[in-house]
Copies of this chain bind each other. A is one copy, B any other.
Amino acid sequence: MKQLTIQSSQRNYPIVMEAGLRFRLKKWLNKDYSSILVITDDQIADKYLQDVVDSLDQKNIYTSIVPSGEASKNIEQYYKLQSKAIESGLDRKSLIIALGGGVIGDLGGFVAATFMRGIDFVQMPTTILAHDSSVGGKVAINHESGKNLIGCFYPPAAVLYDTETLTSLPYREVRSGYAEILKEGLISDISLAEELLPLSLKQISSVQLENHLEAGIKVKAMIVEEDEKESGVRKYLNLGHTLGHALEATLGYGKVTHGEAVANGMLFALHVSEKVKEQQLPFNELYNWMKINEYPIIDIKEKSISELIKSMKSDKKSISGHIQMVLLNKVGEPAVENLDDSSVEAYIKTFIERMNKL
């Protein structure tokens, strides 16, 4: 078992990682709740919902199952869950448990944050990717115009990570999650980045996975403790996300996984960093890592550039119409840069050329 504590302005909360944790949930709830609503998706429900309900061992447990996938992070599902909470008689002393990946954590968390002005919620991530989104208190739903545009900062009461639920992840999900772990290495943990870059994800042991998760969460925790509301260093966590989000939005959510889009976004961020900072960065190493591990290398077309730029400008980080990107001075040393449209356009063009030569 591994345990960390995150300090937030509203409360401190534990992150617990343990194989089989879903059978011992009661132990980690430090309050008596009048009722509990477990929110999960239709893929996770079959595998783990009953275990969770059983281990809570109390009356007034309700469950709500939403379709799996990013499309569920919308206003309709949000309102349905609010209705479910009301119909089930949840009150201010109730708990919501978000059992699933980042979609469920973000959606369930935003419901909890705004149900009767906020009730407790517990994150139970079931993907590697969600190690990132479950820590730090960001909860949100999507708007047609962009991801996570509607949401708030609302720390969970606990993050309870049953690492056993990761063993059955499809390889594509492993890949998606590792992009965020690599990101954490690139911005703040050189040895983690150096360990990951030559690694084939298909050959990772469960011990390695737990260690990588812990290292990634430590980076995330350190950053969100320093800057909970993303006015400063928290922005560094967006390395690869400016183009990444735009790729997800323009390709259509679900075509590539979040991590696959972020990996491509990081490659672009390293390209821009080399240009802006005039430094040698592990561009080729990242490219090779993506190849070894079968990340799709997204073939950006010249004609899609204007659409990508429009999408990048609608990003929450964008201020006064500039595009904000996280760049690296070197590995472990990120910096935020505001770029105008024409510079970004030029960088995308040279990026396309560079990729065509590889």
Contact = CB atoms under 8 A, between A and B. Distances in A.
B82 A151 contact: no
Contact of A151 (B117, B153, B314): B117
A83 B144 CA distance: 9
Interface string A185-201: 00000000000000000
Interface string A141-180: 0011110111111100000000000000000000000000
Contacts of A144: 83
B319 A93 contact: yes
Interface residues of A, number: 40
A116 B82 contact: no
A254 interface: no
B117 A140 contact: yes
B86 A146 contact: yes
Interface string A78-117: 0100110011010111000000000000000000011111
B149 A82 contact: yes
A87 B143 CA distance: 11
A1 to B, nearest CB: 32
Contact of A152 (B113, B138, B314): B113
A320 interface: yes
Contacts of A154: 152
Nearest to A89: B321
Interface string A313-341: 01011111100000000000000000000
Given A86-B314, A115-B150, A152-B152, 15 more contacts: A34-B320, A75-B75, A75-B79, A83-B144, A86-B145, A86-B146, A92-B319, A93-B319, A93-B320, A114-B151, A114-B152, A117-B151, A117-B152, A117-B229, A117-B230
26 contacts: A9-B9, A82-B143, A82-B149, A83-B143, A83-B144, A86-B143, A86-B149, A86-B314, A87-B145, A91-B318, A91-B319, A91-B320, A92-B317, A92-B319, A93-B319, A93-B320, A113-B152, A114-B152, A115-B149, A115-B150, A116-B149, A117-B140, A117-B316, A118-B152, A152-B152, A152-B154
